Amino acid sequence: MSETSATPPRPAPKRQGRTRRLECPQCGGVIEVRASGISISAVCNSCGSTVDVANEELKVIAEARKRTREPDIAIGKRGTLAGTEWEVIGFQARSNPREGWTWDEYLLFNPYRGFRFLAHDDEGWTLFCVLRQDVADAKHVEGDRRRYEGPETGEARTDYVLGEFYWRARVGDTAETQKYQANPYLLVQERTGDEIVWSRGVKLAARTVQAAFGLAPPQAAVKAVSQRQRTIRVLWTSAAAILLLIVLHAMSFGASRSLQVFRQEFRVAASDRSRPVVSAPITVPDSSGNLRIDIKCPIQNDWLDLNLSLVREPGGQSYNAAQTIEYYTGRDEDGSWTEGSQEGSVLFADIPGGTYRLLVEADAGAFRKSPPRPQQAGVNWNAIIADAQRAASLEPGAKPQPAQVVAPPAPEPAIPFTIEIRRHVPAQEFFWISLVLLVPYPLYRLLFRRGSQG
């Protein structure tokens, strides 16, 4: 928030006068003085001249620039803040030319409570009261337990005045400022020459000031509220749509959703390359629906090709598909790496119910490799023992037969894999596509449009 508060040169007297009407010496217009006997200057609503109302001759002390704006709270408007009814008697537009900040200040008056300043800038509203005491240490104010942080230095220049004031307010008046904060409270020092004035303020909610003076929210605020309401509606609608999508996805096929109808473990070798492996009978329920075949194979640094034929019995239609599974892993200068997957699936969009058999033709990289060398021949110890027993029973001079040497056969490469078939599998693609279409716009409203509303 920018610096706020006016610079009264002296405290107001305890006794307040009545409202009186004076004639502007410049244009003849009527000047209403609401704090009669207290106010020193007033601005003519007709010609904008600043008039010295403390002088009975109503001398024109400055020819103000022609009025170009109306304050948000009209002069003479009454409202209740902090339990007290106040009347707006003065208005000035101020700025900090060093930083380019601007704000408005309203001088409030109550015949029993004196004066207050209501400041408004782009951060909101603040109600100020001029302190009657000197402040030696702004961070430790006597009688105030709050710890103020600061200061933030600046300048306050008067750019426009309207109404009446208890000091001679002029366009161009400038004060050096120091602001201290203990949120939501502010402590502001204004220095004009050798004169120093301290003010303490508290921030007010915009709706509090609007309710007190019957103000309509500014168009920017109305638009922001409208945008926020629209964003909330979009978020609620999108959340309901996403929830409905999840529920429909979960209930898509009722009790038979993703029903397992077949599972079998296979093991194929190089000798099976020329002939298909036939599964046990498969019973597919319901008259129609999709069917998914899932394959899992624990291969390492190899590949497996499967040609699948789902044949309806007896002698019915055949549904054919092919699936390749390959998985490689290794390590290089960048670390460990993997490629491929040990799983695969085939989806038939519509398969009639009935009894089927699955025919599997397999081929693999392991089948094309040279068979391993035969293991080194070993000794048949059972034969040796038998020969020793026979030798013991031979006549003297007879020669025993040598033990038989047996070479075990080389193992044939074989690859295991598991096939699982499910009926009525939810269409994951539809779910994810719908989710991708639903999510971006509410995220845009929440993140970008919300940020643009400040």
pLDDT per position as a tens digit, 234-280? 778 888 888 887 777 666 555 457 899 999 999 998 888 878 999 99
Residue linked to tokens 């789902």: 310
Domains contained in the chain, number? 1
pTM higher than the cut 0.85: no
Q: Could you give the CA distance from residue 148 to residue 186 in angstroms, rounded to a whole number?
A: 8
Question: How many residues make up the chain in this entry?
Answer: 454
Rg (C-alpha) for the chain, rounded Å, is: 47
The candidate with the shortest Cα–Cα distance to 180, out of 131, 147, 227, is 147
pLDDT(11) > 50: no
Domain that holds residue 80: 20-216
pLDDT in tens, 301-320: 999 999 999 999 887 789 99
Least confident stretch, 66-70, 284-288, 434-438: 66-70
pLDDT value for 316: 79
| Phi, psi dihedral angles at 305 (to 5 degrees) | -105, 130
As given in the structure block, the two tokens for residue 183 are: 């949120």
* 112 falls within a domain: yes
169-177, long-range: CB < 8 A, 24+ apart: 169/6, 169/41, 169/50, 169/90, 169/92, 170/50, 170/61, 170/62, 171/62, 171/64, 171/65, 173/7, 175/7, 177/3, 177/96, 177/153
The DSSP output letter for 446 is: I
pLDDT in tens, 389-418: 666 665 565 565 555 555 566 667 789 999
* 229 falls within a domain: no
* 360 falls within a domain: no
* 120 falls within a domain: yes
* 81 falls within a domain: yes
* 85 falls within a domain: yes
pLDDT value for 315: 77
How much of the chain exceeds pLDDT 70, in percent? 73
pLDDT in tens, 65-74: 445 578 989 9
* 252 falls within a domain: no
* 192 falls within a domain: yes
pLDDT(83) > 60: yes
pLDDT value for 410: 62
pLDDT(16) > 60: no
